[in-house]
């Protein structure tokens, strides 16, 4: 079998063989450079896609918030924070003192301190409740929508981009916990407006942040289109060596995925070293960082899987003994009618869409590209198999 995806016209003899060799060498070098450039852009595209699909998409952010709330370390930290807010913003000691008999009021202070630990443990149970989860997700949705509107300069009623400050308001969660702990309504009514207020966006250079978001919105789809175009051009230029270049495209995807996984690990470590001052908080920060960048890992892993499929496909069409044997085995399948092939391909597409590795089918451009690649792969493999093992010969072997 020739080293090509589809059949190519035979080249006529040429007296200037040296010139042809020179042109072929230039095309091969250009093809290699295109693959290398596509690899770099693939790394950029993975991170830009992560920002757009997860960091700037409210539904994805709420889903991420839900995942974070299921983490035990996050529950512990959030419980401690809420209890701290109750103790700092309310006179819990006075509340306890009112319930003590006369002559025992002096025990209010020690009891308040002693109950802080058990209260935190009780709150951890409350954090896992459906009521708490609903309020938590609602607060995150409101905060994220506000943050995205500010970053995209999407002004509307109730949204201002004047100072670039967005807060996560969980006062409702603090009140829920206070009620479950038995604090009186009159005491909880004294909670200040900023109780449970967590600043999640405070940009002094809002214009730069908004410009960065506009760039990332553009790159999320544009870079992918460029990468696909570069890979396609590389394969096209490698006349007579297209299977080899197709295999290199697979290695490119594998390499890009591995680089992204490496960058993610290093970036998380550097970030934690720079922002976490208290070693006791590092496990929580580590869990948060890994969950928040989970989509990066998924996309990178999907790129590796796609790369392995490209490599495997290129080798399947090659001249290796095992490849020829495999093609001979699957020849009866590809000698079936067009209707059967179309139905089988449609089933494969539905399976891939359902799986959607790396959230590839969440965007129309990537979805159409992958569907097109699968269809081209089926056509190329069927053409190669039927050319090598004609259906008439297959029928003779089967009878």
DSSP sequence for 206-255: HHHHHHHHHHHHHHHHHHHHHHHHHHHHHHHHSTT-HHHHHHHHHHHHHH
pLDDT digits (tens, 9 = 90+) for 298-331: 889 989 999 999 999 999 988 888 888 888 888 8
The pTM assigned to this predicted structure is 0.70
> Would you write out the chain's pLDDT as a tens digit for each of its 399 residues?
544 554 444 444 444 545 555 557 788 889 999 999 999 999 988 888 888 777 777 888 788 888 888 888 788 877 777 777 776 765 555 555 555 445 444 444 555 555 555 666 767 777 777 877 888 888 888 777 777 777 776 655 444 444 555 566 677 777 777 666 666 666 666 666 666 666 655 555 556 666 777 777 777 778 888 998 999 999 888 877 888 999 999 999 999 999 999 999 998 888 788 776 767 667 767 777 787 788 888 889 989 999 999 999 999 988 888 888 888 888 888 777 778 888 888 888 888 778 776 666 767 777 788 888 888 888 888 888 888 887 544 554 445
Look up tokens 């209010």; give the residue. Answer: 108
- The pLDDT tens digits for 255-292 are 999 999 999 999 888 878 877 676 766 776 777 778 77
Task: Name all contacts of 23-29 with Cβ < 8 Å and 24+ positions apart.
Answer: 24/239, 24/240, 27/237, 27/238, 27/239, 28/237, 28/238, 28/241
| Tokens found for residue 324 | 């020829």
Decide: 62 and 141 in contact? Cβ < 8 Å.
yes
| CA proximity to 352, closest of 335, 325, 372 | 372
Helix extents (H) in 317-363:
321-334, 338-355
In Å, what is the CA distance from 83 to each residue of 93, 137, 173, 278?
13, 19, 11, 19
């Amino acid at each position: 079998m020739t080293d090509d995806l589809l059949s190519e016209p035979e080249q006529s003899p040429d007296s200037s063989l040296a010139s042809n060799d020179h042109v072929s060498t230039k095309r091969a070098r250009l093809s290699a450079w295109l693959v290398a450039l596509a690899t770099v852009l693939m790394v950029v595209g993975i991170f830009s896609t992560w920002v757009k699909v997860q960091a700037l998409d409210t539904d994805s952010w709420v889903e991420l918030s839900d995942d974070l709330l299921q983490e035990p370390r996050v529950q512990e930290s959030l419980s401690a924070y809420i209890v701290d807010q109750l103790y700092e913003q309310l006179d819990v000691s006075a509340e306890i003192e009112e319930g003590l008999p006369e002559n025992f009021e002096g025990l209010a202070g020690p009891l308040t301190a002693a109950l802080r630990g058990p209260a935190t443990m009780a709150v951890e149970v409350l954090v896992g409740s459906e009521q708490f989860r609903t309020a938590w997700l609602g607060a995150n949705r409101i905060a994220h929508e506000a943050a995205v509107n500010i970053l995209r300069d999407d002004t509307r009623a109730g949204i201002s981009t004047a100072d670039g400050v967005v807060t996560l308001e969980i006062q409702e969660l603090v009140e829920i916990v206070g009620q479950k702990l038995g604090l009186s309504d009159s005491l909880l009514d004294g909670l200040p407006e900023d109780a449970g207020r967590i600043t999640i966006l405070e940009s002094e250079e809002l214009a730069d942040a908004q410009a960065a978001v506009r760039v990332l919105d553009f790159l999320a789809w544009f870079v992918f289109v460029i990468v696909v175009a570069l890979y396609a051009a590389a394969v096209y230029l490698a006349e007579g060596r297209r299977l080899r270049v197709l295999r290199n495209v697979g290695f490119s995807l594998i390499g890009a995925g591995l680089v992204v996984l490496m960058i993610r690990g290093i970036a998380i470590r550097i970030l934690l070293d720079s922002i976490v001052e208290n070693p006791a908080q590092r496990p929580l920060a580590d869990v948060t960082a890994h969950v928040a960048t989970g989509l990066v890992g998924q996309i990178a892993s999907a790129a590796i899987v796609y790369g392995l499929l490209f490599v495997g496909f290129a080798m399947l069409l090659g001249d290796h003994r095992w490849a020829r044997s495999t093609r001979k085995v699957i020849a009866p399948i590809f000698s079936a009618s067009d209707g059967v092939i179309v139905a089988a391909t449609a089933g494969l597409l539905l399976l891939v869409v359902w799986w959607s590795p790396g959230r590839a089918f969440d965007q129309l451009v990537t979805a159409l590209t992958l569907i097109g690649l699968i269809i081209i792969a089926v056509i190329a493999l069927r053409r190669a198999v039927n050319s090598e093992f004609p259906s008439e010969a297959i029928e003779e072997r089967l009878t």
